[in-house]
Amino acid sequence: MWQCQGVTRPAAPAGAVRQGSLRELNLAVVLGRIAAAPRPPSRADVAAVTGLTRATVSAVVDDLVAGRLVGESEPAPRTGAGRPARGLVLAGNGPAGLGLEINVDYLAACVVDLAGEVRHHTVRRADLRPVSPADALARLAELAAVARVDAERQGLTLAGAALAVPGLVDAAGLVRLAPNLGWRDVPVPELLSGHPPLVDPVPGIPPLVVENEANLAALGELHADPDGPVSFLHVSGEVGIGAGIVLDGALFRGVRGWSGEIGHIPVQPEGRPCRCGGRGCLERYAGQEAVLAAAGLDRTNLPADTAAARLADLASADHPAARAALAEAGQALGIAVAGVVNLLDLDTVVLGGGYALLTPWLRPPVLAEVSRRVLTAGWSPVTVRPSALGPEAAVVGAAGSVVRRIVADPVGWLNRTG
């Protein structure tokens, strides 16, 4: 009688449900089930799970197969008596997503197919700070062209691209600020428009999304582990510190897409001045520069992407300054994370980017601060674990965001004219 449940998000009555929407919605439902299933399901399995009849599922699957979104796995999984089922899998010769990344000392491109498999991956190391944005994007376009050729050779069609950038991006793809690259107000889509198109346009799928790398890394982590938590904080420790917030299986971007600036959460209100204008920001205690300085390392002759590995080596060898530096960084990180957990009630924190390698030394102080400062820590333990993808999370997440979009709404792909 006194059944209780939380105040849930209202079932969004976004748009009206027209006649044809029925099929459109069920295409997404069936495709989503096939994508989420641990092993290739039969039509009958899908029908049982969704509540649709087998007749309907068959009809929907026919459409999906005709549109190269779903294939049948020939060696059907055997169960027992009865006619053997034909397993349904996401097509490996249909649409794919192009992931791109520009970072301080490398460019990267990768291709991910519908099933989430990485089918192509290139990283080109280069210090991009002295390079103009236009030149950097020109080099990126070359990588993209190579990726596209490789994808087509494998029977894939690039349906969209996402570019990870270490900075703040607005809704139009303008990079407002990427401090570590030295970029300010760089109109990425415009600068790329002179180059050959990256992808084949598909209705409903934006050809290029420019997004903060920490956000895309969080998405990558989300999709890397289908059985993982659906709500978590992903903290990327690079030169700066960014965070991606995943809530209920979706990236939370904030009002303007600028969420996750955890690096500027105050951890010592009147502490060290920060280039953001504030004082005592987390970045000044747990950012790469601060940790290297505390460990007594000279960052000028240490490539940014090897700093974490170097620190991990030293810490493994019981180097006292490195250990102390990581303990201090972990404590600062823990103070910020405690605030986040108090605010958002998350139960999982993923340490990504450079932090992934350093998890053994960062986790204890982070957990100590969390258990001390989080009101609900007694009832609900917080898990702190390293990223599964590490530094590749952003590119892979970028490519994955494209295919996820197609899985969530396959109608555009199915209706494409090409």
Give, as ranges, the residues between 19 and 38 that touch a second copy (CB under 8 A).
Answer: 19, 21-22, 25-26, 28-29, 31-33
Closest of 206, 151, 223, 154 to residue 400, by C-alpha: 223
Instruction: For residue 226, list its beta bridge partners.
Output: none
Residue numbers 145-184 binding a second copy by CB under 8 A? 162, 168, 171-173, 176
Instruction: Give the CA count within 13 Å in the CB-facing half-sphere of 148.
Output: 15
403 binds a second copy (CB under 8 A): no
59 binds DNA (CB under 7 A): yes
The binder of DNA chosen from 22, 36, 247, 408 (CB under 7 A): 22
Q: How far is CA 7 from CA 137, 344, 376, in A?
A: 46, 16, 20
Residue numbers 276-335 binding DNA by CB under 7 A? none
Name the one range near a second copy by CB under 8 A: 80-88, 99-107, 241-249, 350-358: 241-249
Shortest Å distance, C-beta 306 to a second copy: 27
Residue numbers 306-335 binding a second copy by CB under 8 A? 335
Would you say 86 or 195 has its CB closer to a second copy? 195
Strands 250-252 and 241-247: antiparallel
The entry of DNA, a second copy, none that residue 80 binds, CB within 5 to 8 Å by partner kind: DNA
Would you say 66 or 126 has its CB closer to DNA? 66
Residue numbers 74-133 binding a second copy by CB under 8 A? none
Shortest Å distance, C-beta 399 to a second copy: 12
Instruction: Give the torsion through C-alpha atoms of 204, 196, 258, 217, to 10 deg.
Output: 90
5 binds DNA (CB under 7 A): no
53 binds DNA (CB under 7 A): yes
Q: CA-to-CA distance for 185 and 196, rounded, in angstroms?
A: 23
26 binds DNA (CB under 7 A): yes
374 binds a second copy (CB under 8 A): yes
Q: CA-to-CA distance for 418 and 413, rounded, in angstroms?
A: 10
Element (H, E) at 71: strand 70-73
- From the CB of residue 81, how many other CB atoms can be counted at a distance below 10 Å? 4
Would you say 130 or 269 has its CB closer to a second copy? 269
Q: How far is CA 72 from CA 34, 40, 115, 304, in A?
A: 11, 9, 13, 45
Shortest Å distance, C-beta 275 to a second copy: 10
Shortest Å distance, C-beta 402 to DNA: 25
Q: CA-to-CA distance for 102 and 106, rounded, in angstroms?
A: 6
CB 30 within 8 A of CB 46: yes
131 binds DNA (CB under 7 A): no
The percent helix, strand, coil of the chain (3-state, each to 5) is 40, 20, 35
The binder of a second copy chosen from 11, 83, 227, 317 (CB under 8 A): 11
The binder of a second copy chosen from 44, 182, 258, 310 (CB under 8 A): 258
Site string for DNA, 65-84 (x = CB under 7 A): -------------xxxxxxx
Q: CA-to-CA distance for 287 and 265, rounded, in angstroms?
A: 12
The entry of a second copy, DNA, none that residue 43 binds, CB within 5 to 8 Å by partner kind: DNA
Can you tell me whether residue 371 is helix, strand or coil? helix
The entry of a second copy, DNA, none that residue 406 binds, CB within 5 to 8 Å by partner kind: none
The entry of DNA, a second copy, none that residue 231 binds, CB within 5 to 8 Å by partner kind: a second copy
DSSP assignment of 103-127: -SSEEEEEEEETTS-EEEEEEEE--
Would you say 26 or 180 has its CB closer to DNA? 26
Q: Residue 226: which residues within 8 A CB-CB, separation 6 or more?
A: 36, 38
55 binds DNA (CB under 7 A): yes
Report the Cα 392 to chain-centroid distance in Å. 10
45 binds DNA (CB under 7 A): yes
Name the one range near a second copy by CB under 8 A: 84-92, 119-127, 206-214, 310-318: 206-214
Would you say 26 or 122 has its CB closer to DNA? 26
The entry of DNA, a second copy, none that residue 190 binds, CB within 5 to 8 Å by partner kind: a second copy
Q: How far is CA 19 from CA 15, 16, 47, 350, in A?
A: 12, 10, 21, 43
Closest of 369, 311, 364, 363 to residue 338, by C-alpha: 369
Positions in the binding site for DNA (CB under 7 A): 17-20, 22-23, 26, 42-45, 51-56, 58-62, 78-86
